[in-house]
Structure 1
C-alpha cells in the first residue's frame, strides 16, 4: 500500500486556511454607502430619502436581515427605517450625520426669542431642529379626553397622509386601544398594519387644532420617530425656511 507523503498535504491545508480567513474577514468589507443604498433599494424596491447626504461616506456591509444591514450601513447617520410587512423595508429616511442632540428653545410667553415667533394675522412660525436636509418640530399632543399635552419631536413629512405616531404612545395619550380601528394602510410597497384614530387636539405653537386623524404604527417599523403628516399639515399653507430653520404655517 503506497505511503502518503505529509508534505503533499501542505498546499491543501494552505488553501483551507485561506478560505477560512476569507470567510472571517468578508463581513468587515467597507463599501460606499450611497452606492450600496442605491443597489439595495433597486433590488428590494424601497424608497430612500436624503441619500445625497451619504456621498463620500463608507461603512461596513453585513447583517443577517436587510434591516440589520441598513442599520450597520447607516451607523454614522441619524436615520429612520420604516418597515413593511414580512420583515421588508418600505422607506429609509436619512436625517444627516449623527450629532449631539440640541433641544429646541423653550416657549416663554411674551419673549420675542421664544420658539413661536411673532407673526401677523393667522401665521404660526415655529423653530425647527435641522438634521441634514430634514426638519423636525416639537408639537403638543392631546388624547381624546384632553389633559396636559405631551411634547413630541416630529419629522415634517409631506409624503405621509396622516400624523404617524409609535404604538407606545397610545397609553401615554390616554387612548383605549380597543377604540382604535385596525387597518392596513396602503403604501407604495404594500400594506402596513396600523391603528387609526383621532387625537383630541394638536398644539401648533399657541394654536389648538382639534380632531386630528392619526395612525399608530409599531415602534420598530417606525424607527421610534413620529411623522408630522398631511392630516395636520393639509390644513395649512406651509413654508420651510432652510436658512432660519423655521416652519411657517398659515391656516387655509
Structure 2
C-alpha cells in the first residue's frame, strides 16, 4: 500500500512536535488576555486560547488577568507563568527547577508558602526565608502565637520580627517542610526572600543567567 508523501511528512512533523519540549525549554508569558495568552516557547511566538496546545506541546490551562499569570501544562504537569518572567519548562524530572535571571540579574521563582501563592526573590545572602506580616496572614501563619520575637534592621529602620517554622514551602517540583523563616511586621520585604534555610537543602548550579535547583 502506498501513502501520499504529504501525509507522511505531516505525520513526521507532528511526531517531532509532540516530543519537542525539553527540560531546558524557555517559556515567557509575553501578553495576557481573558482566556487567551501569547507565550514565547524557546523564542517562538504562540497565541493560545484556553484549552489549546502549541506545536511544542504547551497547553494553556487558564489565565488570570488580575494576578497577571497564566497556567500552562506540559506533559501533564502544570506551571504558572508571570508576565515578562522567563522560566524553564519543569519536565526535567522530579525535584528539579530551572530559573532564568530577570531584570537586574535577579532570579525569581513562583511558589507557595503553605497554600498561598507567592513570587520569591532568590537571595543566597539571606540565612532564612523572610516574609512580611501580610504574606504570613495569607499563608495562615499565626506568628505572634508560635514565633520567637526578635528585632531586625530593615531599610525603613528597626522592626519587630518573629522566628517561625513554615509547614510547607514549594517551588516548582520541590517541596520542603518545617522550614525556618522570619516574619517581619509591616510591608518589608515587599518580595518574599527565598533564603538559605530553603536553598541550603538543595544542590544549586549556576551557569550565566541560568540557575538550577535540585532536591537532594
- Which residue number corresponds to residue 237 of structure 1? 203
Shift of 1:124: 0.8
Could you give the per-residue CA deviations for residues 34-84 of structure 1, whole angstroms, max 9, x where no partner exists?
Answer: xxxxxxxxxxxxxxxxxxxxxxxxxxxxxxxxxxxxxxxxxxxxxxxxxxx
Distance change (3 Å), C-alpha of 1:135 and 1:201: same
* Residue 178 of structure 1 pairs with residue 145 of structure 2: yes
Q: Which runs of 5+ in 1 are unaligned?
A: 1-101, 143-148
Higher helix share: 1
- The runs of 5 or more residues in structure 2 that have no matched partner are 1-66, 80-87
- Aligned pair count? 139
Corresponding residue for 2:62?
none
After superposing the two structures, state which structure 1 stretch, 213-222 or 203-212, moved more. 213-222
Q: Deviations over 1:210-241 (max 9, x none)?
A: 1111101133442x111000000000111244
TM-score of the two chains, using structure 1 as the length reference = 0.47
Post-superposition shift, 1:186?
Answer: 7.6
| Aligned position for 2:18 | none
Q: Compared with structure 1, are the counterparts of its residues 220 and 170 closer, same or farther at alpha carbon in structure 2 (3 Å cutoff)?
A: closer
> 1-side partners of 2:69 and 2:204: how far apart?
20
Does residue 81 of structure 2 align to residue 108 of structure 1? no
Q: Which of the two has higher C-alpha Rg?
A: 1
User: CA RMSD, aligned part only?
Assistant: 3.1
**3-state secondary structure, aligned to 1:175:** coil
More displaced 10-residue stretch of structure 1: 198-207 or 230-239: 198-207
More strand by share: 2
What residue is the counterpart of 1:218 in the other structure? 185
Q: 1:155 aligns with which of 121, 124, 127?
A: 121
1:247 maps to 211
Find the aligned partners of 1:105 and 1:241 in 2 and give their Cα distance.
27
Q: TM-score, normalised by structure 2?
A: 0.54
